[in-house]
Amino acid sequence: MAGVTAPTVRLLVLGVVRSRGELHGYAIHKELTSWRVDTWTAVKPPSIYHAVKQLAREGFLCAAQPEGSPRGPSRVSYAVTPAGQREFLSLLQQALVSPDIEELGAGIAFMRCLPRARVAELLRTQLGTTRDIETQLQQMKPQWPDTGEAPHAGHLLDLWSGSFAAHAVWTAGMLDRIAAGEFTFADEA
């Protein structure tokens, strides 16, 4: 899996805090671990804690009163600020148009925070981008006619275009589920 992208971990942290209210760093980590984000992203505990601190420094999270604990040091809980709400919605919309599978996955995790029509619109854009990338990869194949020689670029282009083709099929299926009324979105709650 690729390295952690900042937008992905930022979206996940803001989304969890937004959905759960005030949370301290360990609770954010525990929630994301319960989602098994390590299986569908490269997000690991250090990047979660770093994102919490960075989002707080940037004013997207605000620290609440530290919670006293009989078992150890006090924990600082965080809440999403109005600027953090705007950042969350911006990151969410960017994720839903991204051809990057990890970023898209984070967007799917929170897609119900947007209206149904907006999610469908964003996913249609993502589908178009994904199909364009698949086509562009196939169009590059004539540049590497000798598939038997390293770096076997023609075969690699087949691999990558096949991945984007599968991605497009998945997105089209998700659009069908959304159109069929699956899920409850922000404008329907």
**46 alpha-carbon distance from chain centroid:** 17
Question: Residue ranges of the chain with pLDDT lower than 70?
Answer: 1-5, 66-70, 72-74
Domain boundary among 80, 109, 138: 109
Query: What is the pLDDT at residue 86?
Result: 98
The DSSP code for 189 is -
Assess whether 32 and 67 both reside in one domain: yes
Q: Which of 57, 2, 48 is nearest to 25 (CA)?
A: 48
Which structural domain range is residue 163 located in?
115-180
pTM of this structure: 0.90
Number of domains the chain contains: 2
Assess whether 135 and 81 both reside in one domain: no
pLDDT digits (tens, 9 = 90+) for 102-153: 999 999 999 999 999 999 999 999 999 999 999 999 999 888 777 777 788 8
Assess whether 64 and 21 both reside in one domain: yes
Domain boundary among 48, 77, 109: 109
Assess whether 67 and 18 both reside in one domain: yes
Assess whether 83 and 133 both reside in one domain: no
Query: What is the pLDDT at residue 154?
Result: 85
